[in-house]
Structure 1
Amino acid sequence: MNLSQYTKEFSYNLKLAYPVILGMLGHTMIGIVDNFMVGSLGSTELAAVSLGNSFIFIAMSIGIGFSTAITPLTAEADAEKDDKKIRTTFHHGLLLCIVLGVSLFILTVLSKQIMYLMHQPKAVADLAAPYIDWVAFSLIPVIIFQGYKQFADGLSQTKYSMYAIFMANVVHIFFNYVLIYGIWIFPKLGILGAALGTVISRIMMVVFLHFLLRKNSKFKRYFKNFSFKEIRKSMLKKIINLGLPSAMQMLFEVALFTVAIWLSGSLGKNSQAANQIALVLASTTFMVAMGLSVTAMIRVSYIKGSHDYKGLIIIARSIFLLTIILETVFALFFMISHNFLPHLFLNMSDASQAIDNGEIIAIASKLLLIVAIFQISDGIQVVVLGALRGLQDVKIPMYITFVAYWVIGFPISFYLGKYTNLQAIGIWVGLLAGLSSAALFLYIRFARLTKKLVLQNQNK
């Protein structure tokens, strides 16, 4: 193996990945700002926002997963220099994202009654219900935004969505501040102000991206002459066949982590707090792997369009190698600082919290040692999944992720968490087992599939 053939691709991989990583951190900032500003209103309000957002997050994962179908089809058409196919993919993909956004909004509003069946405190659920109604509406612009974003990503233009998210964050902070606390001419709406701030910022996010793309010479021609007469059932079916399994892949993973939160909660508030610290830190570094996953999807689908399968393997492996290197750096960071990091999330000056803080730090520091190993497995599984989406191979990976997360990962998490002394640590051992299984089986799938494509191409 000639290492330089992989390392020479690193700079272009990072050039494509960094706007995606920063954009995802921008999405995360919207949730962080909500929690920070609402936190000053009281613990009930903060719990209501957290509960409401768990519903929104599951629906959003379905929408984001589905929209990824647009990227490989666009990139493949771009490699073929087929402008008509690019335009068709964009228009059909955007239409499906609009329909899906409206559907998820309605389903989320209808599903909020589940809160009361989950035995959540009534005061929290009563506050969360109107919050869900408003924030669920923001799913429509978020998923439309994803349609635009995945289209731009398919043409290797990953910066525009990052700019739009940054501008949306400025809008979000302003409207949150004035609507939560009632500044100047604006009414004091409390938790509903946070919901409205999120809705307004997400609508503006779509508006920003629409104008950024429409004014760009590379994209301008794809915005002209949209007509329902051009909509073809065959193209809608193609996008759905790619998008639906991708949505399920993302749902399986998000649902597993949501269940891990509930399992930790059943062990007590200190286990739940330690779990949240580990989850926030793992999620932050996961953004890097997600950015490289999008890069894998873009580059693999583009090369697939030019039928250079040997080159495709080199590009994909270069992204896998870069991911392993970066995630190993993160793993070492967590191992070195596992005793220090939990202190950053706790009020160490409050003497009344000293016993709870000591227990949380003891649990969280052990969890971070698992998170260190977890980084590498999580990074590999998500970039290989991106490469497989680039090959438009989504159905078998959907089954692989279901088995890895729910047949292997969940039972281990449940048993070790509930029936052994490992408790919260046992839950994370299960998550690690699920992600490691997914990484292994997805890579085997990618290796077999690309080997088969190379052989088929040689025999032509």
Structure 2
Amino acid sequence: MPAIPSGPARLLRDGRALAVLAVPLVLTQLAQVALTTTDTVMMGLLGTEELAAGGLAIVVFNQLRTMGVGLVTSVGNRVAAAAARAEAAPGKPGSPEEPGSPGPDDEVTAVARAGLAVATLAGVAGAVLMVAIGQCLSLLGQDADVADRARSMLVALAPGLLPCLWFQAVRQFTVGMRRPQALLRITLASVAVNAGLDWAFVHGTWGLPRLGLTGIGVATSLVYLLSFLALYASTRRDPVLGPRLSLSLLSADRATVRRLIGLGVPIAATYGSEAGFFSLTALMAGSFGSAALAAHTAVNQLVYIVFQVAVGLSHAASINVSRELALGDLVAARRLKNTALACAAAVMAVVGLCYLVFPGLVLRPFLDSGSAGDGDALSIATGLLAVVAVLQFFDCAQNIGVGLLRGLDDTKGGFRATLVGYWLVGLPASLLLGYAADLRTLGLWLGLLAGLATTAALLLRRYAAGLRARGGAVPEAVPTG
């Protein structure tokens, strides 16, 4: 029997295995976040007030989008577990080894169809809520001009939420089947299309109306629609995926829909808890003036970019945990935690060093040091980067922890951990340091750091306890000859 590698050799082997799924997902996430980064850069070119208003609108949109994504995220885990069971019994109809005989009612097909049904419900409800929130921005302590600009952009963004969530449901299906290759190509193309449409609608080129800031919202909605259509068409052409994907939403199995909603609501609440924590700090930053809000928007976008590495690792680890548990391998499920955290820590160390050594360079796409309006915002943002360099370690760790618990189907535990970490630790710390200690925006980010660190510790401890509950103490693999 071949020896089982241990120590660094085993970590390297596990890291390569995780990277097979994680790298395409990380690249897809980074390409996807380039959409909002492009939007943010375009806003910055319009001016500080537009950047503040557009950043506020994106915060609201991301809050609702993130919660909608949470509702369909468990599609990937359910598909992965079903596919693993089919692989363990290759004679079973619908096995991935038999792309020509999937059967219309197999488990994978039922989950994929139910996922699209859940995405539809979430997209419609979220769009209505987005418009309603836009009408209330002036009541939340925001500058009247900023609130008015943000309100118009939210109206333009709202229709894009539905195809955005359809895209995410199909994406989770392809990831669960371990066939996410088309995602990266489509997302990269969408970045270029988004940049062109942003420019066209902002400045009124190619015969299009000149919409200014609102045009960025219109362009984003169109890009989400085109991205979904492209992914759906690509998936339908795949010989393994195509027969299992259907838009017959009215025939979705109600029990499967209820199951996905039961798993998805705590995930949505978990994502919403984190996004809400960041959204609230954006509102608090806005209370310190437009320069503080612009600085917060720029730094938050940097965090959002790097966070995509953790999202990719989290999804890959989560899918693999679902597969390993379906196959009964608890030792591998435990090692996945250490592998994902080690990979994330390595990336965060490099990024944090860049923040500390080249602060002006990383902030240049968002804020212009030569502009009088951007000078104060740049000074504030530069001071925040030292905090962010540390914060990102915990931000990545907590996101990976959420994914690991999702692999255990323990979605409620993740939500409870975020309630404690964000709202019982992070929010009071932000209020105390930002207002009582008069550290203003810096204090808000120190509070964010405290909340994320607490959440990460709670989530990882919960995952270890969940594995022990499944099979007793999970021992380290012992090298054998």
For the criterion TM > 0.5, the same-fold answer is yes
Alpha-carbon spacing, 1:264–1:124, altered in 2? closer, same or farther (3 Å): closer
**Which amino acid in the other structure matches residue 295 of structure 1?**
A
- Unaligned 5+ segments in structure 2 are 1-5, 87-91, 95-105, 476-481
Determine the structure 2 residue equivalent to 1:367: 384
Are 1:2 and 2:27 an aligned pair?
Answer: no
**Which amino acid in the other structure matches residue 207 of structure 1?**
L
CA distance in 2, matches of 1:52, 1:334: 26
User: Which of 312, 324, 327 is the matching residue for 2:345?
Assistant: 324
CA distance in 2, matches of 1:341, 1:175: 25
Deviations 1:398-451 (A, max 9, x none): 111111000011101111110114333222221111111111111111111112
Alpha-carbon spacing, 1:79–1:43, altered in 2? closer, same or farther (3 Å): same
Determine the structure 2 residue equivalent to 1:292: 313
User: Which of 395, 405, 410 is the matching residue for 2:412?
Assistant: 395
CA distance in 1, matches of 2:333, 2:25: 21
Are 1:80 and 2:60 an aligned pair?
Answer: no
- Cα deviation, residue 41, structure 1: 4.8
Alpha-carbon spacing, 1:432–1:45, altered in 2? closer, same or farther (3 Å): closer
Are 1:65 and 2:76 an aligned pair?
Answer: no
Are 1:134 and 2:134 an aligned pair?
Answer: no
Identify the range of structure 1 (220-229 vs 175-184) with the bigger mean alpha-carbon deviation. 220-229
CA distance in 2, matches of 1:380, 1:368: 19
Query: Retained in 2: the 8 A contact 1:13–1:295?
Result: yes
- Cα deviation, residue 253, structure 1: 0.7
User: Which of 335, 338, 341 is the matching residue for 1:314?
Assistant: 335
Determine the structure 1 residue equivalent to 2:253: 232
Determine the structure 2 residue equivalent to 1:215: 237
CA distance in 2, matches of 1:276, 1:102: 27
**Which amino acid in the other structure matches residue 194 of structure 1?**
I
SS in 1 for 2:312: helix
User: Which of 379, 403, 410 is the matching residue for 2:427?
Assistant: 410
CA distance in 1, matches of 2:235, 2:213: 34
Are 1:203 and 2:225 an aligned pair?
Answer: yes
Alpha-carbon spacing, 1:349–1:124, altered in 2? closer, same or farther (3 Å): closer
CA distance in 2, matches of 1:223, 1:281: 35
Alpha-carbon spacing, 1:221–1:368, altered in 2? closer, same or farther (3 Å): same
CA distance in 1, matches of 2:467, 2:351: 29
Alpha-carbon spacing, 1:344–1:130, altered in 2? closer, same or farther (3 Å): closer
Matches within 5 A, 1:43-122: 44-81=49-86, 83=94, 84-122=106-144
Determine the structure 2 residue equivalent to 1:266: 287
Query: Retained in 2: the 8 A contact 1:38–1:190?
Result: no
Determine the structure 2 residue equivalent to 1:16: 21
CA distance in 1, matches of 2:18, 2:157: 35
Identify the range of structure 1 (296-305 vs 360-369) with the bigger mean alpha-carbon deviation. 360-369
Determine the structure 2 residue equivalent to 1:276: 297
CA distance in 2, matches of 1:128, 1:269: 13
Determine the structure 2 residue equivalent to 1:161: 183
Identify the range of structure 1 (133-142 vs 163-172) with the bigger mean alpha-carbon deviation. 163-172
CA distance in 2, matches of 1:429, 1:38: 27
Alpha-carbon spacing, 1:129–1:324, altered in 2? closer, same or farther (3 Å): closer
- Cα deviation, residue 8, structure 1: 0.6
Query: Retained in 1: the 8 A contact 2:430–2:447?
Result: yes
**Which amino acid in the other structure matches residue 410 of structure 1?**
L
SS in 2 for 1:187: coil
Query: Retained in 2: the 8 A contact 1:286–1:378?
Result: yes
Determine the structure 1 residue equivalent to 2:451: 434
Determine the structure 1 residue equivalent to 2:199: 177
Determine the structure 1 residue equivalent to 2:3: none
CA distance in 2, matches of 1:138, 1:342: 28
CA distance in 1, matches of 2:448, 2:429: 8
CA distance in 1, matches of 2:215, 2:433: 41
Calculate percent identity across the aligned residue pairs. Answer: 26
**TM-score of the aligned structures, taking structure 2 as reference length:** 0.87
Are 1:152 and 2:157 an aligned pair?
Answer: no
RMSD: 2.6
- Cα deviation, residue 344, structure 1: 6.4
Alpha-carbon spacing, 1:348–1:233, altered in 2? closer, same or farther (3 Å): closer
SS in 1 for 2:7: coil
SS in 1 for 2:302: helix
Alpha-carbon spacing, 1:378–1:225, altered in 2? closer, same or farther (3 Å): closer
Deviations 1:98-144 (A, max 9, x none): 11111111221223221131243444434433432221010010011
Query: Retained in 2: the 8 A contact 1:101–1:139?
Result: yes
Are 1:450 and 2:467 an aligned pair?
Answer: yes
CA distance in 2, matches of 1:321, 1:40: 38
Determine the structure 1 residue equivalent to 2:33: 28
CA distance in 2, matches of 1:370, 1:43: 23
SS in 2 for 1:69: helix
Identify the range of structure 1 (100-109 vs 309-318) with the bigger mean alpha-carbon deviation. 309-318
**TM-score of the aligned structures, taking structure 1 as reference length:** 0.90
CA distance in 1, matches of 2:272, 2:63: 7
Alpha-carbon spacing, 1:156–1:316, altered in 2? closer, same or farther (3 Å): farther
